[in-house]
Amino acid sequence: MQFQQLQYFVAVAETRHFTRAADLVHVAQPSLSQQIKALERELGADLFRRARGNITLTDAGEALLPLARRILADADTARQEVQELAQLRRGRVRLGATPSVCTGLLPDVLRAFHDRYPGIRLLIEEGGSHDLVRELARGALDLALVVLPLPTPSPALTTVELLREDLVVVSSPDAPSPGRGRRTVRVCDLEGERLVMFRHGYDLRELTVAACRAEGFEPDFAVEGGEMDAVLGFVRAGLGVAVVPRMVAARSGRGLRVTPLARPGLHRVIALAHRSDVAPPRAARELQRMLLER
């Protein structure tokens, strides 16, 4: 009994027609008929009653059909499992993340993932949440770490909250301390401070500006338009203060004064997002698991 013969048998049983079955399995009809006859000889029983224009299963065929379907399903499962294991030895994961997440959260997780799966290439794309959502939707990314709430909610995406992170104020140790030297700073204390501000489209920019306006003032920018590394460099140089995630400040604290925000403070929610209609590849699902369990 050959695996291919079982495929042909199931195709005929489901279509009740030899020619349509041959088209379904992409083989010439005479070849399919020969293989069915060879299977019947092997089993010592007819599997089909062949009347003109009417193909039905015999009792032997009825008994074989569920077993054949199970064998084919098990073979398909085995193929998928082996392919997925192979994907963890080679392949790629396309991960999008905001620049601040790349600086604060990802290095340790990506190092652990690379140590476990050295054959997987990690392709990282930095961008704001709006850009990352667009790249996910068009299939250019497998996963993305975005800031909630999304700028444009999308029912085509599945998001899982990963962490809730406090924001802090960073300043140069050589400059006067924000908030007149208090241990914590209120958002209203930023009125009159010169801020180093991120570029337009940066999630932290919108969050900081909205918080200042909620306190009744417009923030004063000393310099604006930078990415995370540039903003931290400008702060170190004494150009102004900036509001950044605590994790970023902890990693980049050298040459910076870090002052917490007084309660209720400011925070952001980082979520892991992927398309709802397409399951991420096996390697991407493994990275997803490591991020969620970090």
Work out the mean pLDDT of the chain and round it to a whole number: 89
Q: Of 48, 73, 98, which residue is a domain's last?
A: 73
Give residue for tokens 């040459």: 255
Pairing of strands 257-260, 54-57: unpaired
With 0-12 / 13-18 / 19 or more C-beta atoms within 10 angstroms meaning exposed / middle / buried, residue 180 is exposed
DSSP state of 141: -
Give residue for tokens 């020619």: 19
Residues 144 and 203 in one domain: no
The band of 63, judged by pLDDT with boundaries at 50, 70 and 90, is very high
The band of 141, judged by pLDDT with boundaries at 50, 70 and 90, is very high
Give strand ranges (E) for 230-289: 242-245, 257-260, 267-275
Residue 115 belongs to a domain with what CATH number? 3.40.190.10
Q: Tokens standing for 84?
A: 């997925």
- Structural domain boundaries, residue 285: 82-163+270-293
pLDDT at 254: 77
The band of 149, judged by pLDDT with boundaries at 50, 70 and 90, is confident
pLDDT at 159: 92
Query: Domain count of the chain?
Result: 3
Residues 106 and 126 in one domain: yes
Residues 261 and 206 in one domain: yes
Residue pair 192/285 in contact by the 8 Å Cβ criterion: no
The pLDDT tens digits for 105-133 are: 888 999 999 999 998 899 999 988 888 98
Which residues are CB-contacts of 231 (< 8 A; sequence separation ≥ 6)? 196, 197, 198, 242, 244
Residue pair 188/265 in contact by the 8 Å Cβ criterion: no
Residues 21 and 153 in one domain: no
Mean pLDDT of 263-277: 91
Q: What percent of the chain has pLDDT over 70?
A: 97
pLDDT at 216: 96
Q: Of 73, 96, 112, which residue is a domain's last?
A: 73
The band of 90, judged by pLDDT with boundaries at 50, 70 and 90, is confident
What's the pTM value of the predicted model, to 2 decimals? Answer: 0.64
pLDDT at 60: 95
Residues 170 and 262 in one domain: yes
Q: What is d(CA 291, CA 192) in angstroms, rounded to the nearest whole number?
A: 39
Residues 91 and 219 in one domain: no
pLDDT at 287: 94
Q: What percent of the chain has pLDDT over 90?
A: 60
pLDDT at 151: 67
Residues 239 and 288 in one domain: no
pLDDT at 137: 84
pLDDT at 202: 82
Lowest pLDDT segment from 35-49, 80-94, 170-184 = 80-94
Residues 141 and 287 in one domain: yes
Q: Evaluate if residue 87 carries a pLDDT over 80.
A: no
Residues 159 and 279 in one domain: yes
Q: Evaluate if residue 84 carries a pLDDT over 90.
A: no
Residues 256 and 275 in one domain: no
Residue 40 belongs to a domain with what CATH number? 1.10.10.10
The larger pLDDT score, comparing residue 237 to residue 279, is at 237
Q: Of 73, 107, 134, which residue is a domain's last?
A: 73
Residues 153 and 285 in one domain: yes
Residues 239 and 205 in one domain: yes
pLDDT at 228: 87
Q: Evaluate if residue 225 carries a pLDDT over 80.
A: yes
Buried b (16+ CB within 10 A) or exposed e, 160-169: eebbebebbb
Q: What is d(CA 271, CA 274) in angstroms, rounded to the nearest whole number?
A: 10
The pLDDT tens digits for 164-211 are: 999 999 999 999 888 877 889 999 999 989 999 998 878 889 899 999
Q: Evaluate if residue 157 carries a pLDDT over 80.
A: yes
Q: Evaluate if residue 253 carries a pLDDT over 70.
A: no
